[in-house]
Amino acid sequence: MNSSVLSKSRGNQTIGFIAAAASFSFVLCFQLASFAQPTAPAYRKEPYAIKPAENHSSTQLKDKVDLPDLPSYTGKAKFTNGYVESDAKGGPRYSMSFSAQEPEGQILDWYENVFRMYKWKNIKRDEIHVAATHKDGHYASVKTDHMFTKDNRPLTSIQVHYQMSVK
């Protein structure tokens, strides 16, 4: 056999071997990757059952309400809206919104101090929220959100939620 034909045939075998090894490693990597991928979640065919709403009505508030054992914020805050659910299960539920000029942290510090002064328990706080329960069973939560006015002045939105416990 001619030496040039022999070297071409070995070269083709080498190229064929490299191509086979590369394709095998690609298939192996693909199979390993498919094992590492989580399986697709099973999707519900029917919607979740939603419990019927409690049978109570809400009344729009025209101004802020003084709540037992939770004084109104003393900073530069303006009442924007609110409502009360008088016949809610367990007692009346109040939700009031305010806009304030003070930063969120200062407002949350103020409410956290009020909770401590008025002997509220289980005080929980994070960056935008503080909540507590009262010894009489009331529950209050205050949430803040940073926003801007139309002329780009910073404001803080305050949402006060209060569940009064009636025994």
Q: Which of 88, 53, 97 is nearest to 165 (CA)?
A: 88
Q: What pairs with residue 143 in β-bridges?
A: 129, 159
The pTM of the full predicted model, rounded to 2 decimals, is: 0.65
Report which of 146, 153, 161, 156 is spatially closest to residue 98, judged by C-alpha positions. 156
* pLDDT digits (tens), the chain, 167 positions: 554 444 445 555 555 555 555 555 544 444 544 555 555 555 555 555 555 455 667 899 999 999 989 999 999 999 999 999 988 788 889 999 999 999 999 999 999 999 999 999 999 999 999 999 999 899 999 999 988 888 888 899 999 999 988 76
Residue 106 near residue 113 (C-beta atoms within 8 A):
no
pLDDT for the residue numbered 153: 83
